[in-house]
A and B are shown apart, each in its own frame.
Chain A
Amino acid sequence: MSEMPSAASSEHRSPGPAAAPLGRGAGPDRRAEETGNGAVEDSAVAVSVIELSKIFRLDASGAKTAKERLLHPSRGSNSKFTALEQVSFDVVQGETFGVLGHNGSGKSTLLKLMAGIMRPTAGRVLVRGRLAALLELGAGFHPDLTGRENIYLNGSILGLDRNYVRAAFNDIVDFAELHQFIDVQVKHYSSGMRARLGFSVATHLEPDVLLIDEVLAVGDETFRNKCMERVHKFRSMGRTMIIVSHSADTVRQLCSRAAVLDQGRLIHLGPADDAIVAYRKALNARQQRLADKPPGAARPAKSPVVIESAHLIDAIEAAGTSTPPRHRATSNKDLVVKPGTPVTAVVTISVHDATVPVRLRITLRTPEGLLLINRATSGLLGGGSSLDLPEGRHEASFHFGPLPLRDGQYLIDITAETPDGGHQFARRAGLAGFSVEAGGRGLGLLAVPVTAELVTPKPTPRRRADDRREAGERAPTSVP
């Protein structure tokens, strides 16, 4: 791979998509005007997405026989679903660009449109150079062919000539660790093997633009790390990458800029960190929408305890030196703290049946579901295994000690359950939350001080002997 001089080899990749699709009245000129008043003007644009929309006819996929089409010719026009609406952005050459969105936000549709697999209802996508897409890490293998044949087939789909693929072949197989299986039909591969080969092919055939869907969703830890290495290398070669993900961490780790999609619309475009904040906001709003839908109906009437609400306050507010907390909180997820701040969660419950023994459980987690704290009230709030509260409304405060957490959002779930934890009476997930802002771009979960020192070992006698020998060998040449 590295021994292929890229400038020379690009001459060989003659029939690339760069030259292939001939569009009439293509928009480069119009594009130039448009980008002049906004997006990115400094560097060469690698991918330009222009007012892209995609509308699906929902029933169309069901009607596969001519009979249904003939009997109900007009049926399709009624139920439509707008998956993508007027999305525009530019991706600059050499950057790693993220597309963030929750499930159903339209990001997979966008990916398929950018890859040219689906045709947009309106708008267009312009691409500079060869584009490869890694959808669900499948890369489009033919099950009946062997791994070797599929590598060459994929190469020719990307418009590369045989010699170029042959030069990269060993690297591809090495990376995918498929030496003994390379002449086995792909249909006999495990999903992991297929994913490894797909990733390896897509990154080693050096497309100018690489689209990746959920890059690190598959494979074991070792392979994921290898992929990360490869992605970093790909980036350092100055190639363009577009990573579509619902994981803020992936985007934070890999991308410099990102777009955020919500319900088919572009709601944010900018540096990755800002985009992640916008994404989290959208996620919260979505959760709120989903949670608000069945407000009273979901509440079981005979539950002995109802979890009314919860909010979070930091230590200063808890001490009463700041403004009253309830007045300040516009939303119960607005609290922003610095790393190492103690936080108090105030939970309001109503007890309807005092005879049933109940305890509360509070969990602190990341939006992705990583559990940080999980604590039941057994031994808290008065000591017993269950809360013995009279009927009526109560307010319980949980004080968390200094939390050494880094940038990110953290959520509280409250559960009311039997004292042995066997049955849940009520559960409110993501009822409250807070964000930590360290003001830096860091990775990882914990903000714990880390120090380091460097010790350089003294040169050993063995090494000195080597030096001497080398010097000795060189000496005669310097003597005239």
Chain B
Amino acid sequence: MTDTARPTSPSPSTSTESHFPATAVDEDRSRLRPIGTLPDDTGILSQMVRVWRYRDLLLNLTKREVKSRHKNSALGVAWNLLNPLLQMFIYTVVFTYFMPGRTPMFPLKLLSGMAIFGLFTTSVTAGASSIVGNSAVVTKIWFPREILPVAAVASNLVTFASRVIILVVALIIYWHAPDWKDMWLALFAVFVTLVLSVGFGVLLSALNVFFRDVEHFLELALLALFWFTPVVWNYSFLASYVIDRFGPQWERLIMLNPLIPVVTTFERVLYNPTGFPPEQQQQFDLLIRPTEWYLQNLLVSLTVGVVALVVGLRVFTRLEGSFAEQL
């Protein structure tokens, strides 16, 4: 039977031949492209180009994420505002009445820290479950799959924007001025956070297909990260402890938590402790640093983010071919 495997005389119908003259053949053949993602197709640049080529799809998927997130809830998009407001309310009650601190305008500090920290947590959580959550599409159609975690991160920019709106409203209510001069630092911090989110989101989304433990682990890891990052507490607590115990040169080591540079920058610029009277400024002495200090820290975070992105994309491409089998 194997002798019939090769065609003896394949005769495509004459009508197709007349449609495509022989002169067109060479040009046409060169337009054959491999389908799917090849295992050797790991160039980070080519992956980014591919995502860019599919930007229409990225936009559609992002819209879809935003829409479907609140599709069956009565309050719908209002949750984007309600969620941070309620969080802020809880923490403010706890840290003003139960465990009173000396922090002035505590809700402002909380809102600025939570805005940027929340961008990372919600993005990474959504990114990690993006492939598994979209199995209906992943097992049916091919498209560059890395678009899914990227879209998950992008859709959380909407949540972030609503948190920033609340922060702005709170700044107006308190009539407290942010540090306009260093506002670009805050924007850079947002960019760094996005790189970190996409990096970890891509990496975890691929791993989650094979080990569903990733989602559970991530929940705990993010909780730990939250308490190891100065969102509700003051950066000076940790920094002064480290400096007293090990010496001032070890302060840099704190920055290995990539979220600390991002959150401190956001607090420095938007919460802006320089605007307080000198006696209140004292507790923020380690946060009132020159611009270069913040920029250096952010660059450390950015490096971590880029490494995560490169490793994430590598792992993603390696595992991508087996997604459909595993889902």
Binding site for B on A (CB under 8 A): 14-15, 17-24, 26, 28, 31-32, 38-45, 48, 56, 60-61, 64-67, 69, 92-95, 112-119, 124-129, 131-133, 135, 138-145, 149, 152-154, 156-157, 159, 161-162, 185, 238, 256-257, 262, 265-271, 278, 281-282
The 9 closest A-B pairs by CB, nearest first: A119-B321, A116-B36, A140-B140, A116-B142, A44-B28, A116-B35, A126-B32, A15-B53, A144-B68
Extra A-B contacts (11), CB below 8 Å, given A116-B35, A157-B57: A21-B50, A43-B25, A44-B25, A67-B213, A69-B210, A115-B35, A116-B37, A138-B140, A142-B134, A156-B56, A269-B4
**Contact indicator A23/B141 (Cβ below 8 Å):** no
**Contact indicator A24/B33 (Cβ below 8 Å):** no
Q: 15 A-B Cβ contacts within 8 A?
A: A15-B54, A21-B35, A23-B34, A38-B6, A42-B22, A43-B20, A44-B25, A64-B212, A115-B142, A119-B39, A129-B31, A141-B136, A159-B53, A159-B54, A282-B1
What are the interface flags for B99-120 relative to A under an 8 Å C-beta threshold, 1 for contact and 0 otherwise? 0000000000000000000000
Give chain A nearest CB distance to B72 CB in angstroms: 8
B94 interface residue per 8 A CB criterion: no
Q: Specify which chain B residues have a CB less than 8 angstroms from the CB of A22 in the assembled complex.
A: 41, 43, 46, 49-50
Give chain A nearest CB distance to B62 CB in angstroms: 11
**Contact indicator A117/B29 (Cβ below 8 Å):** no
**Contact indicator A94/B54 (Cβ below 8 Å):** no
Q: Specify which chain A residues have a CB less than 8 angstroms from the CB of B41 in the assembled complex.
A: 21-24
Q: How far is the CA of A131 from the CA of B141 in the complex (A)?
A: 9
**Contact indicator B40/A24 (Cβ below 8 Å):** yes
What are the interface flags for B278-309 relative to A under an 8 Å C-beta threshold, 1 for contact and 0 otherwise? 00000000000000000000000000000000
**Contact indicator A64/B29 (Cβ below 8 Å):** no
A142 touching B12 in the complex, CB below 8 Å, given contacts A31-B29, A125-B35, A127-B33: no
Q: Specify which chain A residues have a CB less than 8 angstroms from the CB of B71 in the assembled complex.
A: 144, 185
Q: How far is the CA of A126 from the CA of B34 in the complex (A)?
A: 4
Q: Specify which chain A residues have a CB less than 8 angstroms from the CB of B59 in the assembled complex.
A: 156
Partner of B37, one of A21, A26, A270: A21
Give chain B nearest CB distance to A122 CB in angstroms: 11
Q: How far is the CA of A274 from the CA of B30 in the complex (A)?
A: 31
Q: Specify which chain B residues have a CB less than 8 angstroms from the CB of A262 in the assembled complex.
A: 1
A119 touching B4 in the complex, CB below 8 Å, given contacts A44-B28, A140-B136: no
Q: How far is the CA of A94 from the CA of B13 in the complex (A)?
A: 10
B322 interface residue per 8 A CB criterion: yes
Q: How far is the CA of A311 from the CA of B49 in the complex (A)?
A: 65
The chain A residue sitting closest to B18, CB to CB, is A43
The chain B residue sitting closest to A153, CB to CB, is B60
Most buried by B among A14, A21, A64, A138: A21
A142 touching B20 in the complex, CB below 8 Å, given contacts A117-B324, A270-B10: no
Q: Specify which chain A residues have a CB less than 8 angstroms from the CB of B30 in the assembled complex.
A: 28
Q: Specify which chain B residues have a CB less than 8 angstroms from the CB of A141 in the assembled complex.
A: 136-137
**Contact indicator A269/B10 (Cβ below 8 Å):** yes
Q: How far is the CA of A265 from the CA of B1 in the complex (A)?
A: 11
**Contact indicator A64/B210 (Cβ below 8 Å):** yes
The chain B residue sitting closest to A208, CB to CB, is B31
**Contact indicator A161/B324 (Cβ below 8 Å):** no
**Contact indicator A135/B140 (Cβ below 8 Å):** yes
Q: How far is the CA of A325 from the CA of B44 in the complex (A)?
A: 71
User: What is the count of residue pairs linking A and B with beta-carbon distances less than 8 angstroms?
Assistant: 240
Q: How far is the CA of A19 from the CA of B2 in the complex (A)?
A: 37
B7 interface residue per 8 A CB criterion: yes
A126 touching B35 in the complex, CB below 8 Å, given contacts A20-B144, A265-B5, A269-B5: yes
B55 interface residue per 8 A CB criterion: yes
**Contact indicator A92/B6 (Cβ below 8 Å):** no
**Contact indicator B38/A124 (Cβ below 8 Å):** yes
Q: Specify which chain B residues have a CB less than 8 angstroms from the CB of A138 in the assembled complex.
A: 136, 140
Q: Specify which chain B residues have a CB less than 8 angstroms from the CB of A185 in the assembled complex.
A: 71
Partner of B2, one of A93, A152, A267: A267
B252 interface residue per 8 A CB criterion: no
Give chain A nearest CB distance to B82 CB in angstroms: 21
B16 interface residue per 8 A CB criterion: yes
The chain B residue sitting closest to A26, CB to CB, is B34
Q: How far is the CA of A235 from the CA of B3 in the complex (A)?
A: 31
The chain A residue sitting closest to B8, CB to CB, is A270
Give chain A nearest CB distance to B207 CB in angstroms: 9
The chain B residue sitting closest to A68, CB to CB, is B211
B143 interface residue per 8 A CB criterion: yes
Q: How far is the CA of A404 from the CA of B24 in the complex (A)?
A: 48
Q: How far is the CA of A56 from the CA of B324 in the complex (A)?
A: 12
Give chain B nearest CB distance to A84 CB in angstroms: 13
Q: Specify which chain A residues have a CB less than 8 angstroms from the CB of B210 in the assembled complex.
A: 64, 69
Partner of A142, one of B38, B68, B143: B68
Give chain B nearest CB distance to A331 CB in angstroms: 15
Q: Specify which chain B residues have a CB less than 8 angstroms from the CB of A128 in the assembled complex.
A: 28, 31-33
Give chain A nearest CB distance to B36 CB in angstroms: 3
Give chain A nearest CB distance to B219 CB in angstroms: 15
**Contact indicator B29/A44 (Cβ below 8 Å):** yes
A23 touching B142 in the complex, CB below 8 Å, given contacts A119-B321, A119-B322: no
**Contact indicator B29/A139 (Cβ below 8 Å):** no
A65 touching B142 in the complex, CB below 8 Å, given contacts A126-B33, A269-B7, A271-B11: no
**Contact indicator B137/A64 (Cβ below 8 Å):** no
Q: Specify which chain B residues have a CB less than 8 angstroms from the CB of A143 in the assembled complex.
A: 136
**Contact indicator A44/B24 (Cβ below 8 Å):** yes
Q: How far is the CA of A237 from the CA of B142 in the complex (A)?
A: 24
The chain A residue sitting closest to B326, CB to CB, is A61
A56 touching B325 in the complex, CB below 8 Å, given contacts A21-B33, A93-B20, A269-B5: yes
Q: How far is the CA of A385 from the CA of B255 in the complex (A)?
A: 94
Task: Tell me the chain B residues, 132-173 only, with Cβ under 8 Å from chain A.
Answer: 134, 136-144
Q: How far is the CA of A381 from the CA of B59 in the complex (A)?
A: 76
Q: Specify which chain A residues have a CB less than 8 angstroms from the CB of B15 in the assembled complex.
A: 94
Q: Specify which chain B residues have a CB less than 8 angstroms from the CB of A15 in the assembled complex.
A: 53-56
**Contact indicator A40/B10 (Cβ below 8 Å):** yes
Q: How far is the CA of A131 from the CA of B34 in the complex (A)?
A: 11
Q: Specify which chain B residues have a CB less than 8 angstroms from the CB of A26 in the assembled complex.
A: 32-34
B244 interface residue per 8 A CB criterion: no
Q: How far is the CA of A138 from the CA of B7 in the complex (A)?
A: 33
Q: How far is the CA of A359 from the CA of B41 in the complex (A)?
A: 67
The chain B residue sitting closest to A86, CB to CB, is B5
B267 interface residue per 8 A CB criterion: no
**Contact indicator A114/B213 (Cβ below 8 Å):** no
**Contact indicator A17/B142 (Cβ below 8 Å):** yes
**Contact indicator B211/A65 (Cβ below 8 Å):** yes
**Contact indicator B19/A131 (Cβ below 8 Å):** no
Q: Specify which chain A residues have a CB less than 8 angstroms from the CB of B32 in the assembled complex.
A: 26, 28, 31, 45, 48, 126-128
Q: How far is the CA of A21 from the CA of B35 in the complex (A)?
A: 7
Give chain B nearest CB distance to A73 CB in angstroms: 13
Q: Specify which chain B residues have a CB less than 8 angstroms from the CB of A278 in the assembled complex.
A: 1, 4
**Contact indicator B33/A267 (Cβ below 8 Å):** no
**Contact indicator A118/B34 (Cβ below 8 Å):** no
